[in-house]
């Protein structure tokens, strides 16, 4: 498994020249302002216009950098997502070396994903909403790498003879991640009242049933 590039709008542009100095300063200012406002008053209670105003830039400037609130939120999570990804990969290497089955690794990955989703759900809500709004064709970055990880583990488990026969692994990866869609996840947490542990255990049970 390989690290997935998580910085679609990072400072080093794919296109060509480096970011202009004033633009870089504004980017930092915007991120910093957004982070503060979100922390003080909650993500859902802060609108884009306000972020621009408090940061002292025009709305056009804000939207040039971040095409919507979701992208901005994604940028704020960037570091933590990368760290989560890296630490997961490191962990897996270790577990594989110890001979821990891939299905077990999958169960643990899902469990830590439950925690990640819980912690970042306010930002993730915006990311998903934006992904939806831009039409179904735009993919959602967090989901993308989560899917890559899950499906890689499923394939490894199959190669390793841990899985029951005739499973549609490609679809299965999606089905296992479906309960982690943020809106649904929040419903389970705050309406159903399920704890993180219960959700993690439920997913573990499902994963275990896939065994031969």
Task: For the CB of residue 127, give the shortest distance to its own copies in the complex, in Å.
Answer: 13
Measure the CA–CA gap between 140 and 127, rounded to whole angstroms. 7
Beta carbons of 159 and 202 less than 8 angstroms apart: no
Q: Under the rule (CB under 7 A), what is the footprint of DNA?
A: 15-23, 25-26, 45, 47-49, 56-61, 63-65, 67-69, 130, 133
Q: Which is nearer to its own copies, 47 or 167 (CB)?
A: 167
Indicate which single residue of 55, 75, 151, 179 sits in contact with its own copies (rule: CB under 8 A): 179
Beta carbons of 114 and 199 less than 8 angstroms apart: yes
Q: Which is nearer to its own copies, 86 or 187 (CB)?
A: 187
DSSP string for 51-101: HHHHHT--HHHHHHH-SSHHHHHHHHHHHHHHHHHHHHHHHHHHHHHTT--
Kindly list the residues in this chain that would bind its own copies in the complex (CB under 8 A): 128, 132, 136-137, 139, 164, 166-168, 171-172, 174-175, 178-179, 181, 183-184, 186-188, 190-192, 194, 198-199, 201-203, 205-206, 209-210
């Amino acid at each position: 498994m390989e690290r997935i590039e998580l910085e679609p709008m990072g400072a080093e542009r794919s296109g060509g020249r480096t970011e202009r100095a004033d633009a870089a300063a504004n980017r930092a200012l915007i991120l910093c302002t957004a982070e503060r406002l979100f922390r003080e008053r909650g993500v859902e209670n802060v609108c884009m216009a306000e972020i621009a105003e408090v940061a002292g830039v025009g709305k056009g400037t804000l939207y040039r950098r971040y095409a919507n609130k979701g992208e901005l939120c994604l940028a704020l999570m960037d570091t933590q997502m990368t760290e989560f990804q890296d630490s997961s990969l490191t962990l897996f290497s270790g577990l594989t070396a110890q001979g821990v089955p891939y299905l077990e690794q999958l169960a643990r990955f899902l469990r830590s994903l439950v925690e990640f989703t819980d912690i970042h759900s306010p930002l993730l809500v915006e990311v998903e909403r934006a992904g939806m709004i831009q039409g179904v064709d735009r993919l959602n970055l967090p989901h993308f790498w989560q899917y890559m990880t899950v499906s890689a583990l499923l394939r490894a488990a199959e190669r390793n003879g841990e899985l029951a026969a005739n499973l549609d692994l490609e679809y299965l990866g999606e089905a296992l991640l479906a309960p982690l869609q943020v809106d649904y996840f929040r419903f389970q947490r705050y309406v159903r009242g399920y704890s993180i542990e219960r959700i993690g255990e439920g997913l573990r049970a499902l994963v275990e049933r896939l065994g031969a």
